[in-house]
Chains A and B, each alone.
Chain A
């Protein structure tokens, strides 16, 4: 891809575009970062860095393309890097402490079934939880999720399938696996 910088819009216009297209998604980014990091303060830092980095490379963003997906791509990349650098600690936290309980500062009012689903979700390994947040909650397509996670589309499909199967076992541990054995 080549960019004609001489034709770049003036700074004020780029600022306006950045505010109206990128900063609009801060809350959504924050929501997902909080879930994926399992720590509100860390999520704040990640989102802040995501937006500063997005501004730095705003000139490469193609107006009209999906800004939310672009921002998520940057953010997930940052989260993965941070996880890698804190891998042992992060593993410990995700296994021993439910991610949502770790970040919520209030007791959410949930139905019993919802609480069960959330508890099951929190006990999934990170890579499966991430795919559920991206595809089920944020409703990104498999293709978008694959680009964000830097994995083939087939991996997204199989991870989501496995994630749902794991949740099924966690929610209904006694349910006979009719289909798998049919």
Chain B
């Protein structure tokens, strides 16, 4: 490529930053930058602007916890629609002319797309659509009922869930699982925590998933001691605030203990104001021993955990 002037180089700087130039042009720009302080300064400025935008957006994403619940709701709804409405399934498309993926997406008909929220109001009548809607609402209400039932009939805390893991296992098996698509490692990674190893206490880990208690998000780590379930919940700052309504005296690094019939519950918040909650048919000593194995003030712990990421 011929030598370019500053104005021409300036127009290539964006693409240079994103490595979108061909090798020859990249070299031309790099050579120019070595000699031209003005263009070098311009590049530094553009880099800085890009970094600031990324950083601002990243901060907002970290702080906007509503994204997590909105995404969960949408996924649950889409799954329920897929389960209810087999017409949208790939097998029902076999009579259609095969088309390129992008083209098909562009030309997709909206005839059998059912939407909630503002779109509900715009939906024309139709038995099929109403039935689909009724069925998905029924799923939502049944789930809410189940959660309410377990949290109110077996004690003020999440003892119903902790005592037998029954509700969580139902969620695991149902099509409205909140964690589908996430591996165990992924969920731990996005929440910046390491799996507490409790084998030395005879407590073995077997599963984990995002769980909601008191409408606050927890990461539910499911363990077993023999045949008895042991639950360890990891909660965000948001969760702590919610739980403080029930247990006002949760203080950082101090274990709170509560006995509910055969269930021993321990709650402890970290200096970063995240929360660990332990529940199971355990003794106080066992709760203490488990607590000592939990990462309390890890430097990797973020200010805001990203449950349900």
Contact = CB atoms under 8 A, between A and B. Distances in A.
Q: Do A and B bind each other?
A: yes
B144 interface: no
Interface string B93-127: 11000111110111010101111111100000000
Interface in B28-57: 38-39, 41-42, 45-46, 49-50, 52-57
Contact of B71 (A27, A106, A157): A27
B38 A179 contact: yes
Contacts of B77: 48
Interface stretch (B8-16, B239-247, B260-268): B8-16
Contact of A8 (B63, B90, B180): B90
B49 A168 contact: yes
A30 B98 contact: no
Give the residue among B11, B41, B49, B115 with the most A Cβ atoms within 10 A: B49
B61 interface: yes
A89 interface: no
B54 A11 contact: no
Contacts of B41: 178
B78 A109 contact: no
Interface string B270-284: 000000000000000
Contact of A70 (B14, B57, B105): B105
A167 B102 contact: no
Contact of A44 (B18, B68, B117): B117
B100 A52 contact: no
B105 A77 contact: yes
A24 interface: yes
B128 interface: no
Of the four ranges (under 10, 10 to 19, 20 to 34, 35 or more), the interface on chain A belongs to: 35 or more
Give the residue among B46, B66, B78 with the most A Cβ atoms within 10 A: B78
B70 A30 contact: yes
B292 interface: no
Given A19-B181, A160-B14, A49 B110 contact: yes
A72 to B, nearest CB: 10
B70 A44 contact: yes
A121 B51 CA distance: 13
A84 to B, nearest CB: 14
Contacts of B110: 49, 53
Contacts of A83: none
Interface stretch (B81-89, B202-210, B220-228): B81-89
A132 B49 CA distance: 11
Nearest to B85: A52
B60 A164 contact: no
Contacts of A42: 118
A135 B18 contact: yes
B181 A24 contact: yes
Contacts of B81: 52
A1 B104 CA distance: 12
Interface string B1-22: 0000111011101110010100
A27 B71 CA distance: 5
Contacts of B105: 53-54, 57, 70, 73-74, 77
Contacts of B185: none
B104 A60 contact: yes
A113 B53 CA distance: 9
A60 B89 contact: no
Given A31-B61, A161-B15, 13 more contacts: A1-B98, A5-B98, A23-B180, A45-B116, A47-B71, A47-B74, A105-B64, A106-B64, A136-B50, A137-B57, A161-B11, A164-B50, A179-B7
26 contacts: A1-B98, A1-B99, A3-B98, A8-B94, A11-B90, A15-B82, A19-B180, A26-B74, A34-B67, A41-B117, A44-B74, A44-B116, A48-B74, A56-B112, A57-B93, A57-B101, A59-B90, A62-B101, A77-B105, A108-B59, A114-B52, A116-B52, A117-B52, A117-B55, A137-B53, A168-B46
Interface of A: 1-3, 5, 8, 11, 14-15, 18-21, 23-24, 26-27, 30-31, 34-35, 40-42, 44-45, 47-49, 51-62, 65, 70, 73-74, 77, 100, 104-106, 108-111, 113-118, 121, 132, 135-137, 141-142, 147, 157-158, 160-161, 164, 167-168, 171-172, 178-180, 182
